[in-house]
Amino acid sequence: MIDISPSVMQFLLAFVVAAPLLGAVAALLPAPPGLKGKSPEQAVLRHGVTVTGVILAAAVALALGFDHDAPARFQATTDISWIPALDVRIHLGVDGISLPLLLMTALLFFLCALYSYFKFPEGPSPKAFVALLLVLESGTLATFAVLDLLLFFLAFETVLIPMYFLIARWGGAQRQAAAWKFILYTLLGSVVMLLGLLLIGLNSGTFDMVALASDNGRELTHTTQLLAVLAIGIGLAVKTPMWPLHSWLPDAHTAAPTVGSVLLAGVLLKMGTYGFVRILLPVTPDGMATFAPYLGAFAAVGIVYGSLACLSLARKGNKGDLKRLIAYSSVGHMGFVLLGIASMTPTGVNGALFANIAHGLITGLLFFLVGALKDRYGTADLDTLAGATGAALYGRAPRLGAFLAFAAVASLGLPGLAGFWGEMLALFGAFEPARGLSRPAFLTYMAFGAFGTLLTAAYLLIVVRRVCMGDPAARPEHPSGGAALELADIQRHEFAAWTPLVALTVLAGLWPAVLLGLTDPAVQKLLAGGNA
């Protein structure tokens, strides 16, 4: 949109990836004079807001300088040799596929830092919290910016340790077990993924994603492609998560602090689906075509399974935890993303990328809201919240209720909001899958998916009814006993953290071209490989 010189663009991208790391180191050092703030805690939290804010600004500048007429081309590229022995190059670049994810990541981290500044989760000192948050940011941003397979693996691994500590130190009940489950499960996935990446790299002689993508798998035999897709696919599927490899996710989301859940759902899950699009589709198209029907089947089952689990959690008397419910809903939503990818058509993949962003915005918002509810009530247990008639947020905290209702309808895919387009396009993709894929199978998956949208609508409406409606006079007892609970409506900082997400959800819903215009050319080139 605006003209920024290539070397500045280069710097901006490298800055976005590296600056959080420097910020993390700085967070561990004592504050310099003049920046001491009211207390060391406040100073370091403010440091977190500043750093993530600067990174967001840099990411926005990057998006503004991005040549929107050529989103299929990698821009702001840097290519330096780092470890010649392993053929690892520091190769960075963004195109229309990674730019939206990069922006969303920077935004969510900024909002999370802002939210923690005002509402710090219970646990040890904020110093380590901010440092870990920034390392996490660097790892996720790097995942979307790197163009080298081994560097991608490195970025993938970087998020594990910070997320482990965020859950294990600042989480809720059962946090140790959940943190262990998270890290062991995803590490196993990513090490298996490494084997696949090595297989590709050694057999084709390069680890460079751009070169591999334009090769389109011509250098690789069919067997190699099959093995590589299997290994890499398992690693990515654990992260995404794909049913039946999802079982780490509900526990991790439930136990994580609010900010951790937002980032897990909003950013970390996207790393998995991004890997499918960026690596598997262009590099190993033959292997992917063989496995696509299975991927589609797992995706369809995941959609229905996630929705059914949510329905069961939403029912009265099942002691459903709201955080867990949203976690399961993520399994369903990511099912749509995977279904779109499995169709291997431009429509489906565009839908998948759109649904990625939409899920990040909407589920991020939902986790913020549920976190706020949990802070107010001391529990996220749906039965306790709802009491006999319902929590009656409309009556008792109308703004909070409105936000929640908005997020819920956005999540169920109301046309005009972001959740609609991605899932619809993914279903369209499944309606007419790529040549060579079995159409009847994909039509079945589409039917499953469509049924899943109905179930999704059902459980989200139940949640809205039980949480937002009800008799405002029937006040629940405070869980710790004592006087009836007074509910505070939305605070200013909450408003600040949530409004951008709401605004973007509406924007993406009303003007999908702003996203699709970026992703579509890149996806076309990706699927065509060197033939484009």
Partner 1 sequence: MTALTASVLSAPSAAPAADAASRVQSVDWLAITPVVLTAAVALVVLVADLFVPQRRKPLLGWLSVAGLAAATAGLVPLRAGDRATFCLTTDPGACSYTADHFALVIQFLVLAGALVTALLSVTTVREARMPAGEYWFLLLSSAAGAALLPASRDLATLIVALEVASLPAFALVGMRRGDRLSSEAALKFFLSSVTATAVSLMGVSFVYAATGTLHLTQVAERLEDVPGQLDTLAMAGVALTLVGFAFKTAAVPFHFWVPDTYVGAPLPIAGYLSVIGKAVGFTGLILVTVIAFPAYSDIWGPALAVLAALTMTLGNAAAVRQSADRPNSAVRLLAWSSVGQAGYLLVPIAAAAYSDRDQIGSTVAYALMYAVVNLGAFAVAALVARTKPQNRISDYRGLYAERPAAALALAFFLLCLAGLPPGLIGLFAKVTVFRAAVDAGLGWLAVVMAVNVVIALYYYLRWTALLFRAPQAPAEGARTKAPWPVTAAIAVTAVIAVVLSAAPQLVLRFASGGLFPQ
| The only residue of 161, 450, 457, 458 in contact with partner 1, by rule CB under 8 A | 161
Supply the minimum distance, in Å, between the C-beta of residue 202 and partner 1: 5
**128 near partner 1, rule: CB under 8 A:** yes
144 binds partner 1 (CB under 8 A): no
Residue from 325, 323, 327 nearest 311 by CA: 325
Interacting stretch for partner 1, rule CB under 8 A, among 85-93, 253-261, 307-315, 339-347? 85-93
Q: Does 120 bind partner 1 (CB under 8 A)?
A: no
CB nearer to partner 1: pick between 158 and 350: 158
Q: Where does residue 198 rank: exposed (0-12), middle (13-18), buried (19+ CB within 10 A)? A: middle
CA angle, residues 133, 137, 138, in degrees to nearest 5: 120
Q: Among 106, 192, 297, 337, indicate the residue that binds partner 1 (CB under 8 A).
A: 192
DSSP-assigned beta bridge partners for residue 148? 208
Site string for partner 1, 208-247 (x = CB under 8 A): -------------------x--------------------
Q: Give yes or no for residue 108 binding partner 1 (CB under 8 A).
A: no
Minimum gap (Å) between residue 231 Cβ and partner 1: 9
Task: Please say which residue, 228 or 462, places its beta carbon nearer to partner 1.
Answer: 228
The minimum distance between CB 442 and partner 1, in angstroms, equals: 31
Binder among 168, 338, 372, 460 for partner 1 (CB under 8 A): 168
- Of 309, 239, 299, 323, which is closest to residue 446 (Cα–Cα)? 299
The reply to whether 29 sits near partner 1 by the rule CB under 8 A is no
Contact residue for partner 1 among 27, 108, 133, 194 (CB under 8 A)? 194
For the chain, count helices (H), then strands (E).
23, 2
The two beta strands, 88-94 and 75-83, are antiparallel
Q: Write out the H or E segment, with its range, that includes residue 94.
A: strand 88-94
**What is the C-alpha separation between 66 and 521, in angstroms, rounded?**
14
Q: Which amino acid is at 487?
A: L
Distance, in Å, from the CA atom of 246 to the CA atom of 238, rounded to the nearest integer, reads 6
Q: How far is the CB of 157 from partner 1 (least distance, A)?
A: 5
Q: Which is nearer to partner 1, 221 or 318 (CB)?
A: 221
The residue written with tokens 């995803």 in the block is 186
141 versus 355: smaller Cβ distance to partner 1: 141
Which listed range, 79-87, 308-316, 410-418, 449-457, lies at the site for partner 1 (CB under 8 A)?
Answer: 79-87
As a 3-state breakdown, the chain gives helix, strand, coil percent values, each rounded to 5, of: 75, 5, 20
Buried b (16+ CB within 10 A) or exposed e, 63-102: bebbeeeebbebbbbbeeeeeeeebbbbbbbbbbbbbbbb
Binding range to partner 1, per CB under 8 A, among 50-58, 150-158, 337-345, 486-494: 150-158
Binding site for partner 1 (CB under 8 A): 82-86, 88, 124, 128, 135, 139, 150, 153-154, 157-158, 160-161, 164-165, 168, 180, 183-184, 187-188, 191-192, 194-195, 198-199, 202, 227
